[in-house]
């Protein structure tokens, strides 16, 4: 982490205009980070969040970048470094979900899931590996569906399984720089991404899949990311934390 006591550590959170990403941005700002709220298209939401966090005494700005575009990710890091002098934390949260049996997934949907969930995370990891200050943190968002392997989630879960593999490998490749690389794999979490298109009966059934018998909240996931991004999480490296209430 940034050891200069007069400066806040700097965190980029991709896809953080709403949902889990917004909760992560808010938690990291509360923890004392200067937070870059990245968005692809939801400019108003991102700027409103940045304004709210600033009003609460935090430091936050909104920056646009399509994570599937490597040049856009480079510009995101460029702009962050120009504003704050460096980057200490990258949270790869940006992602999309499309549910369909594998036999019914068309090429366009497959390519978009891979471009954002897998290549987008890769683009962020690659840039962070080159540019994060020593002692930094990379936290990737996966999914507990990698373990549960539920029907219709095949391509989505596959992109996240690849993210988990890259997480473990990058943690070894950054040997000697005191940078940790971990993944957080939420279970069913009450966000628009999860709730959209699901019948109440299905939501109720999924909320009971874990022993705590409730859906996770964005704040639940943000708390795990906060730990991994902190000095207290410095001995956790190359791991996947399944934040799902004990589902699997």
Closest CA to 194 of 211, 216, 210, 213: 216
- Tell me the two tokens of residue 140: 């990737």
Backbone angles phi, psi at 5, to 5 degrees: -65, -20
Q: DSSP E strands: which ranges in 142-194?
A: 180-184
Active site residue 84: no
Give the angle 30-36-38 at the CA atoms, nearest 5°: 125
Backbone angles phi, psi at 73, to 5 degrees: -65, -40
Contact 53, 159 (CB under 8 A): no
Give the angle 14-66-166 at the CA atoms, nearest 5°: 60
Catalytic annotation, pick one of 39, 84, 153, 156: 156
Cα–Cα dist 68/22, whole Å: 19
Cα–Cα dist 63/97, whole Å: 23
Cα–Cα dist 184/161, whole Å: 12
For the annotated catalytic residues, the residue numbers are 156
């Amino acid at each position: 982490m940034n050891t200069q006591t007069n400066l806040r550590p700097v965190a980029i959170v991709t896809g953080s205009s709403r949902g889990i990403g917004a909760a992560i941005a808010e938690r990291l700002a509360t923890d004392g980070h200067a937070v870059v709220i990245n968005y692809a298209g939801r400019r108003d939401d991102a700027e409103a969040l940045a304004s709210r966090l600033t009003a609460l005494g935090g430091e936050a700005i909104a920056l646009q970048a399509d994570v599937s575009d490597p040049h856009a990710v480079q510009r995101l890091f460029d702009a962050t470094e120009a504003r704050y002098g460096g980057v200490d934390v990258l949270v790869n949260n940006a992602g999309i979900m499309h549910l369909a049996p594998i036999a019914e997934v068309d090429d366009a949907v497959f390519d978009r899931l891979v471009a954002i969930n897998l290549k987008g995370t890769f683009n962020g990891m690659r840039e962070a590996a080159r540019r994060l200050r020593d002692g930094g943190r990379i936290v990737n968002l996966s999914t507990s569906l990698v373990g549960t392997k539920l029907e219709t989630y095949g391509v989505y879960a596959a992109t996240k399984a690849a993210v988990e593999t890259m997480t473990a490998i990058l943690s070894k490749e950054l040997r000697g720089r005191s940078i940790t690389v971990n993944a957080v794999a939420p279970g069913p979490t009450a966000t628009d991404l999860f709730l959209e298109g699901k019948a109440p009966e299905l939501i109720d059934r999924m909320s009971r899949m874990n022993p705590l018998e409730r859906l996770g909240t964005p704040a639940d996931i943000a708390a795990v990311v906060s730990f991994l991004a902190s000095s207290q999480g410095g001995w956790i490296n190359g791991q996947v934390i399944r934040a799902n209430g004990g589902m699997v």
